[in-house]
C-alpha cells in the first residue's frame, strides 16, 4: 500500500471519520510543510508513551497514581464512579466535587457482551475495604448506565457503605459529557441515596 492510501485508511479507522474526511485530512497534511506533520506524529507518539491508566482509579494520567489519587486535600472516603475518563474530566471542571474517582472503563452492556468482569469492578470492591464511606454513582442515564448503577448498588450496599446516584437533572438518553455545567452541578448536589 502506498503512503497516501495508508494514511487515508488509518484516519478512516478513527471514530466519526469517514473515508471522505480521511482523504481531506490526508491531502491537507500533504500540502502543509513538514513541520505540521512531524508535530502531529510526535503528539500521537507522546500520547501512547506517556499516558497510562492510574493503578488506583483507572483515570488516564502521566504519573501513577494520578494527581487526584495522590492529593491529600481530597476526601478519600468518597468515591465517584464514572464510565470513562471523559466524564471525570467534565465533573472536575465544575470544581464542586472534592472526593476521588473510580473509572469503570465502560458499562455493562448485554448487546456488546460486556459483563462485570470486563469492567474495573473488582478493583473498586478492593478499594472499598479502605475506609470508604460513600460511593456516588455517576454513570450515564442510559439503559446500560442505569443497569450498571443498579448492579453496583446491589454489590456495595450490603457492605454498609452509603450509595448515592447523581444524574437527576440529566434526562434519560442524555450524555454526561455533553451536559451543561448548571445541569451537572445540580445533578451532583441533588444526588440521592439508592434504594431497593
Judge contact between 108 and 149, C-beta under 8 A: no
CB of 170 within 8 A of CB of 186?
no
In whole angstroms, the minimum distance from the beta carbon of 31 to Zn ion comes to 42
Instruction: Indicate if the alpha-carbon torsion angle 185, 186, 187, 188 is positive or negative.
Output: positive
Q: Residue 29 or residue 143: which is nearer to another protein going by CB?
A: 143
Q: Is 195 in the site for another protein (CB under 8 A)?
A: no
Residue 79 as a binder of another protein (CB under 8 A): the answer is no
Contact status: 150 vs another protein (CB under 8 A):
yes
Query: Considering the rule CB under 5 A, would residue 54 count as an interface residue with Zn ion?
Result: yes
Cell numbers found for residue 84: 470513562
User: Which residue of 8, 22, 25, 57 would you call a contact of Zn ion, by CB under 5 A?
Assistant: 57
Tell me the backbone φ, ψ of residue 122, rounded to 5 degrees: -60, -40
For the window 7-26, what string marks contact with another protein as x by the rule CB under 8 A? ---------x----------
Amino acid at each position: 500500500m502506498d503512503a497516501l492510501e495508508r494514511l487515508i485508511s488509518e484516519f478512516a479507522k478513527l471514530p466519526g471519520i469517514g473515508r471522505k474526511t480521511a482523504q481531506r485530512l490526508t491531502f491537507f497534511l500533504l500540502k502543509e510543510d513538514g513541520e505540521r506533520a512531524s508535530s502531529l506524529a510526535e503528539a500521537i507518539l507522546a500520547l501512547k508513551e506517556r499516558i497510562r491508566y492510574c493503578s488506583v482509579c483507572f483515570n488516564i494520567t502521566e504519573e501513577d497514581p494520578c494527581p487526584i489519587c495522590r492529593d491529600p486535600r481530597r476526601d478519600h472516603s468518597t468515591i465517584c464512579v464514572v464510565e470513562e475518563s471523559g466524564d471525570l474530566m467534565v465533573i472536575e471542571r465544575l470544581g464542586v466535587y472534592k472526593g476521588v474517582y473510580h473509572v469503570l472503563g465502560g458499562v455493562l452492556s448485554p448487546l456488546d457482551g460486556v459483563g462485570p468482569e470486563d469492567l474495573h469492578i473488582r478493583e473498586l470492591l478492593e478499594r472499598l475495604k479502605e475506609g470508604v464511606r460513600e460511593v456516588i454513582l455517576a454513570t450515564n442515564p442510559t439503559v446500560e448506565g442505569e443497569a450498571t448503577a443498579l448492579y453496583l448498588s446491589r454489590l456495595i450496599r450490603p457492605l454498609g457503605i452509603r450509595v448515592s446516584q447523581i444524574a437527576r437533572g440529566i434526562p434519560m438518553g442524555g450524555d454526561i459529557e455533553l451536559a451543561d455545567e448548571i445541569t451537572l452541578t445540580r445533578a451532583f448536589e441533588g444526588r440521592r441515596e439508592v434504594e431497593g
